[in-house]
Chain A
Amino acid sequence: MATIVEITEPKALEVKDFEFTYAKADAPSIKKLSMPIARHNITALIGPSGCGKTTLLRSFNRIHDLYPGNKYEGEIIFKDRNILTPKEDLIKLRIQIGMIFQKPTAFPMSIFDNVAYGMRLQGIKNKTELQGRVEKALQDAAIWGEVKDRLKHDANGLSGGQQQRLCIARAIAVEPEVLLFDEPTSALDPISTGGIEELIVELRERVSIIIVTHNMQQAARVSDYTGFMYLGELVELGRTEEIFVTPRERLTEEYITGKFG
């Protein structure tokens, strides 16, 4: 059984007895996993490669559904409902639960159109409203100053770090309640990484954040809660300072001290 610390804040998400099996796989990649996600906090998921942390993250917005044959079991509770049911409206779900990927995913269009993309999907056509919200999102993502004079330029002309901040702007422009970060800085240089980390910490005021990272220092720097996963199971979830200073599970201690991983 996993050691899970009591969470005092309200919960943004709650995972209950969750199992996930990839198409054509014999065994589930995630086994009977339960964990709460605190609202307006940053929860980091750490663990060695193949432990299932990205698989779990990609279940929160059901992006696994793009590939046929994947199977969910158990429950993920979001706003008093289980989002794993077949009748879940995935378009609405993904508006409420946004995602930032490992590699920047700027669309082949202008900087402005990239940020406006999600809002236009929701049918917002009013030019002044779009302009206002695009500017706000770019400011919140700390990239407005760098791009304000070239909003009409192709987004692929930006550097990797700028593209990643553009993707964050695009994601927060639709005002999601939860943001999922899948190793958002592993393709970036240290300076861009620092910028993205600062941004993630600031965003906590507005959204609940789950971040998957290979970088334990990053988890320690940015997160409030840390969950350690191993072989498809949650080993321990606790307040970040406790996980890194006084872990309760031996496996957690061995991992964070670099004995394996």
Chain B
Amino acid sequence: MTHTQKRILINEIVMALSTLSAIIGIGFLLWILGVLVTNGLEALSTTIFTAEGAPPGNSDGGLKHALIGQLILVSYAALFGVPLGILAGTYLSEYGLKSKMAETIRDISDIMMSAPSIVIGAFVYAIVVAPMGHFSGWAGSIALAIIMIPIILRTTDDMLQLVPSTLREAAFALGAPKYKVIIQVVYRGAKAGILTGVLLGVARVAGETAPLLFTSFNDNFLNTNMNEPMASLTVTIYNYATSPYEDWQQLGWAAAFILSMFILTLNIIGRLFLLKRKGR
């Protein structure tokens, strides 16, 4: 076999292997989505959105309590997490620069991003749930916010640093004070990127179960009081899917379907923003 033939053969083997791997990966993803969509659509009905939890054997149960609980938990988490994440990212990119302090914060938030979320749940259990003496919506939102912050912080930092420094200099050269340069020029230049970070951060925490098990726990009925345990789609999926009752399992499928569609939509919107940014 000549060198060229050998090279072509190796090239084809590598290409075949990587294509096969890609197909396997995508295949599993489509399989999951397929099962989710068939079972989820089958389980969907109007009562799902209007009724609260019901005892097993009762077919008129719904997910209203979990849907609303999930929205409240994620909204409060975003209320804490988004401003903190954006401001911290602004500090890193605009004030901290390459200082030791800034680099340390970057390292720590990278570690936090890969920390198991159940650890964060346990941490919030220790600092919020235990002193309060009971589970609460607040504890759940705090846990989700803690998971969200490093994601938003790092994307904000990265996106602000993509804004060319000459743009900042040009604004300073017109006599702009620093805060105006940041708000009027730098934020504007990084708008799409920051928004993407926020959407991806929200999408990430919307799918978390483990930290909520320890914090907001669950409730079978509608509760909007953040001082009380609160239902969420993820914990509901966990409870219903592992139950032995057929109708609860059906509700679990419906919850999984709704949650997945919500997160998928957020991710797609986020990525569209990113594409728009790159396209410019």
Contacts and interface: CB of A to CB of B under 8 A. Distances in A.
A105 B169 contact: yes
Interface in A90-137: 91-95, 98-99, 101-103, 105, 107-109, 117-118, 121-122
A252 B191 CA distance: 49
Given A91-B177, A121-B176, A171-B174, A101 B169 contact: yes
A91, A108, A170, A174 interface centre (most CB from chain B within 10 Å): A108
Interface in A50-104: 61, 63, 66, 91-95, 98-99, 101-103
Contacts of A107: 167, 170-171, 184-185, 188-189
Given A107-B185, A108-B188, A66 B175 contact: no
Contacts of B171: 107, 117
B249 to A, nearest CB: 51
Nearest to B174: A118
B126 to A, nearest CB: 40
A156 interface: yes
A61 B169 CA distance: 11
A261 B241 CA distance: 76
Given A101-B169, A105-B170, A156-B280, A95 B185 contact: no
A103 B175 contact: no
Contacts, number: 65
Given A107-B185, A108-B189, A167 B175 contact: no
A11 B184 CA distance: 36
Contacts of B170: 99, 101, 105, 107, 167
Contacts of A170: 174
Contacts of B164: 103, 105
Given A107-B167, A108-B189, A156-B280, A94 B173 contact: yes
A170 B174 CA distance: 8
B134 interface: no
Interface string A132-175: 00000000000000000000000010000000000100110010
A63 B173 contact: yes
Contacts of B168: 66
A108 B277 CA distance: 12
A99 B175 contact: no
A101 B169 CA distance: 9
B166 interface: yes
Contacts of A95: 174-175
Nearest to A92: B175
A102 B171 CA distance: 14
B175 A118 contact: yes
Contacts of A92: 175
Interface residues of A, number: 26
B172 interface: yes
Nearest to B180: A121
Contacts of B280: 156
B201 to A, nearest CB: 23
A174 B169 contact: no
B176 A105 contact: no
Contact of A94 (B175, B180, B185): B175
Given A105-B166, A105-B167, A107-B167, A121 B175 contact: yes
Contact of A63 (B167, B172, B177, B185): B172
A99 B189 CA distance: 20
Contacts of A105: 164, 166-167, 169-170
A66 B172 contact: yes
Contacts of A117: 171, 174, 176, 184
A68 B169 CA distance: 14
A103 B165 CA distance: 11
B188 A63 contact: no
Contacts of B191: 108
A174 B172 contact: no
A105 B189 CA distance: 12
A121 B174 contact: yes
Contacts of A99: 169-170, 173
Contacts of B175: 91-95, 118, 121-122, 174
A5 to B, nearest CB: 29
Contact of B174 (A66, A102, A174): A174
B277 to A, nearest CB: 11
Interface string B65-90: 00000000000000000000000000
8 contacts: A93-B175, A98-B173, A99-B170, A101-B166, A102-B166, A105-B167, A108-B189, A171-B173
Interface of B: 164, 166-177, 180, 184-185, 188-189, 191, 280
Given A105-B164, A107-B188, A122-B175, 19 more contacts: A63-B172, A63-B173, A66-B168, A91-B175, A94-B174, A94-B175, A98-B174, A99-B173, A101-B169, A101-B170, A102-B166, A105-B167, A107-B185, A108-B188, A108-B189, A117-B171, A121-B176, A121-B180, A174-B175
